[in-house]
Amino acid sequence: MESENRKVILSGIQPSGILTIGHLAGALKNWVDLQTQFQSYYMIADLHSITARQVPAELRQRTMETAALFLAAGIDPDKSVLFIQSHVPQHSQLAWVLNTFTGFGELGRMTQFKDKSERHPENINAGLFTYPVLMASDILLYQADLVPVGEDQKQHLELTRNLAQRFNFNYSDTFKIPEPYIPKIGSRIMSLQNPNVKMSKSDENVNSCIFLNDTNEVIINKIKRSVTDSDAEVRFDEENKSGISNLMTLYHLATGVSFEDIEKLFVGKGYGDFKLAVGNVVADWILPVREKFNEIMKDKNRLKEVLEYGAIQAQKVAYKTLDKVYKKVGFVRF
């Protein structure tokens, strides 16, 4: 991997389900572009995923599938460090130190904790509460300059910045203060069945999501069944026509055609024609990713080698940061 002195980015995705078109549009597509400009660290965030109960065999399978989808989407292990979070123990070690710098009230104000607690009242665990501190350690370990995050993670990144500044103030400059990277279009792909909420791989309704391993037929049928309004005009209006606007976003991402030109293309045409067109272009867009994914999953040994190499590279950088932190807080180092 290239070792030139470039700014650093870090991001990750939990292996709690097969990745969706939202991950491709809002994360992976941008990561591929960013890896040519920045020193990139991309992780499968398996430590984060166990804040919800997982079936062990399924978690292992999803972890490998997520890594394969990263590669299939264009993440290049010669340009980026690709690794599994739990393979780098410094993440958990730094998180413990940062826990002692984090206020109980700060974590209690995290909207994701509130939302997940309401949705899963049977499993409100301490890991779910301190999740943002582990996320902060993920970022700060690699001295990240830039963190590609969705709107729903901005609050966590702000906590990361606060913790870095707090630690630096107490002990001298140790951490870089990271900045967010949020793409303007495609960062939020909405549910096909409820276009007022973000598409989620954990949604119980499989028709609400387009998964990256869905066949062309499945993709087209899901888009045909997507929820829209009673009007028949293809027009971008997120407030009043959220379903159609979501489909227009998918069409734009798959083809590069502007929203204005999409409206012109479908003047006088009904939603049936529009949905079929969206289904076809989206299926064509995902096809090479799915084919590459299937190819990678057939060679598990090669995938294992890539992840082992990535973990070694990540540990080298993570150890340097953790060693500085341990010295500054007063731990004995030999």
Determine which one of 7, 176, 198, 292 is catalytic.
Answer: 198
Three-state SS at 43: strand
Strands (E), 127-212: 146-148, 179-181
Residue 2's pLDDT is 47
Write the CATH number for 235: 1.10.240.10
Structure tokens at 105: 């009230």
Average pLDDT for 180-188: 67
Active-site option among 79, 176, 201, 316: 201
pLDDT of residue 102: 93
Whichever domain contains 71, its CATH number is 3.40.50.620
Residue 193 in any domain: the answer is no
**Pair (144, 260) in one structural domain:** no
Which of 79, 114, 116, 320 is flagged as catalytic? 116
Catalytic annotation present for 224: no
Residue 186: its pLDDT value, please?
54
Look at the chain and report how many structural domains it folds into: 2
CB atoms within 10 A of CB 73: 20
On whether both 281 and 314 belong to a single domain, the answer is no
103-161 pLDDT tens trace: 998 988 887 776 776 676 777 888 888 999 999 999 999 999 998 876 667 788 899 99
- Residue 192 counted as domain residue: no
Task: Classify residue 141: in a domain, yes or no.
Answer: yes
**Alpha helices per DSSP H over 39-89:** 46-49, 56-73
Residue 243 has pLDDT above 90, yes or no: yes
Q: Are residues 307 and 272 in the same domain?
A: no
> Which residue range is the domain that position 48 belongs to?
8-181+300-329
Contact 139, 10 (CB under 8 A): yes
Q: For all residues of the chain together, what is the average pLDDT?
A: 90
- Distance, CA of 132 to CA of 116 (rounded, Å): 13
**Same domain for 100 and 128:** yes
Lowest mean pLDDT of 84-88, 185-189, 232-236, 313-317, name the range: 185-189
The whole-model pTM stands at 0.89
> Would residue 201 count as lying in a domain?
no
Identify whether 198 is part of a domain: no
